[in-house]
Structure 1
Amino acid sequence: MNKIDETHDPARQSWVVSANGHSDFPLQNLPFGIFSTEQFGPRGGVAIGDHVLDLSGVAASSLLTGDVKAAAEAASGPVLNDFLALGAHARRALRGRLFELLASDSAHQEALKPLLYRQFDVELHLPARIGDYTDFYVGIHHAMNVGRLFRPDNPLLPNYKYVPIGYHGRSSSILPSGTNVRRPLGQSKGPEAEAPAFGPSQKLDYELELGVWIGPGNDLGKPIAIDRAADHIAGFCLLNDWSARDLQAWEYQPLGPFLAKNFASTISPWIITPEALAPFRATQPVRPTGDPAPLPHLWSDKDQAEGSFDLELEVLLHTPGLKQRDMPAHRIALSNTRYMYWTVAQMVAHHTSNGCNFQPGDLLGTGTISGPGREECGSILEATSGGRVPILLPSGEERRFLEDGDEVILRVRGHREGYTTIGFGECRSTVLPAM
């Protein structure tokens, strides 16, 4: 799971000049996605610096053979589901060959240059056809922060430390980064109101999450053992699971999130492979004294040793007032994936433990990843203590919840001494007024 090889060598450079020192897409990353231009429709590509390499062109050339060529062909269509289904062996083989072709000592630069397109000039799409989407709740500080708002004396429910909590979301409303999100309508009920009212949400929120892409699936009725979970994980992205907190407070009992969540979720467009993230694997933090040990089907020594990640997560807000003053987006949170109470493998094992079947291209969300401090909160609900303490912005504005015209930007970086920094690309969207 944590294999470091020549594709992680920080000394290697690319002949694609913009990749060298790129904050997200250096040669050591090579994420997969779907792009289109004015000349052709959606097809598979790989991000390299400020450019996208057309995989269909590479697959049609003589530069690939055998299984690597087959993998590139599977990744060349309008969605990546067939490629995700091939699993880790094909993914690693294609990554290794692309690394060779794009490295500065490649003998094939002239053949590949016509297959490069500037990211600025292309449109990026959802990378796969998402059959199912499940959102988890594995950020323990988020769970504690939210729980304190409603149950100050008992913020965590009894099951939290025994089972990775999750709910099934709506795959049809998952949107690629850059797509605007309209403020939802719904029922809400104030504490003093006798009856609910219908109208635009007044407490719109973002949620800072990782998305997890499923590769090979499993047959219905056959759980995925935790020691095999990594074989079914194809990659990662950023995920903003938009939430209408006032709608949620009224509707969530007894069956959980519904209209407060299903109106939109935004993801970053590139699938960052487990191979690219190998240098940023980490030991899962030891549970505090007194916490129960996971049940046997959720425990793996190997997963505990290297199933966590050390990735820096960032939330920025760009408001109309900041834009009018030509001021940059303002950072309102800086968190880390180390704050996940459950690992991704535990999420996969739990999800399928009852025999539920995954399919290639299914998407999981981690749930909001917050840290213990206010400056590490992955949602505005937490950062403002439920709207009671506003966030003050350099423009003189303040925010208790999101307002129309606000743009939310999520970023992630993997930093580790001795390795090249990589990122996921941005996950951004602007709030539009309700219809």
Structure 2
Amino acid sequence: MTATAIPTEARSMDLLRFATAGSVDDGKSTLIGRLLYDTKSLFTDQLEAVEAVSQARGDEYTNLALLTDGLRAEREQGITIDVAYRYFATPRRKFIIADTPGHTQYTRNMVTGASTADLALILVDARKGLVEQSRRHAFLCSLLRVPHLVLCVNKMDLVDWSQDVFERIADEFTAFAAKLEAPDLTVVPISALRGDNIVSRSENTPWYEGPSLLHHLEHVHIASDRNLVDVRFPVQYVIRPQSTTVTDYRGYAGQVASGVLKPGDEVMVLPSGFTSRIVAIETADGPVEEAFPPMSVTVRLTDEIDISRGDLICRPTNAPAVAQDIEAMICWMDETRPLRVGAKYAIKHTTRSARAVIRGLRYRLDVNSLHRDESATELNLNEIGRVRLRTTVPLLADEYRRNRTTGGFIVIDEMTNRTVGAGMIVETG
């Protein structure tokens, strides 16, 4: 068993994905190490190795930041996995942490880590207060529609647990977050190094009346974050068994992006527009009476309709846009060539692939000041801008604010087959 293997008993538990963000030396590595240590998610040999290195370095304490340094070193050696993922679990919930780099030049890594997160932890150093990076990370989380934000004011022990310092930082961040449509914000004073307010409430902050960080992570309500209204089922694979005993089976496999599917429901297939009814929904463990995100299922219909990969099943009265002209916010990830008007790229949207041409760049956004530069002619590495593009085939899309799955796409350089951009659809048509 590896350190990131998921125990069998934990598989049916609620899962919270969260991303960590913060400037260099704000204590992200120490916080992640503390969570792993305090939830007993470490193997004995891991802990012994960290203790030995800490002792050899002359540290007066077990340096829990060393638990993630190995992964960070791998990233610095050029390995392609730029975001380090860690797993841990408590009796109430299981967690996947996306540890994203804090440097400005790694905006693309932050976008990658936060794009699937239910919650983002933004760390600030209590001595420094809010810095440019803090605002940048908050804006990126807002852009990516991360439903829950937690501001961790770290290193409170170095400001003598000052309530005034904490409240000043909390008020400043709250005012900034109000401009960003941050739906849910919690602020927690912590010391990742000492473990204060991480797993249990600390005696050093009698003036703080909120929960510990882990208590909040365990209890934050994420079920209502999922879109259960708009049925969206992108078809990934058509199942036609080659067995001579099964001649009439045709199933459509994929992952439910949003909404709830049930046998008997009337559905429509896009882009053809044909309608049918669901006769059965099956999983690897057998038939189910309903399917909801993020379940992977096989859907069978009463009628034989020509359906292939890239098609989408939805409700006849609630369909996404079928559009070739798209307006999107794009984070550019290519360090060799910028995005330019007139350039052609491949697009991957849900299970559908297309080619696209950049028709216009409305503005480039300064992530730190939120200023829009309408004179911009290109997007360079880590820059974000609003782009108009036209695709060769229609995309079956929603606005990103409504559906993160059918509202997001990636941009691919056809020459190198590398992912060069991540897009969030703002408008269709």
Fold similarity call, TM over 0.5 = no
Q: Taking CA–CA contacts closer than 8 Å with sequence separation of 6 or more, which of the two structures ends up with the larger relative contact order? A: 1
Task: Answer 1 or 2: which has greater strand percent.
Answer: 2
Q: TM-score, normalised by structure 2?
A: 0.28
Q: TM-score, normalised by structure 1?
A: 0.28
Task: Answer 1 or 2: which has greater helix percent.
Answer: 1
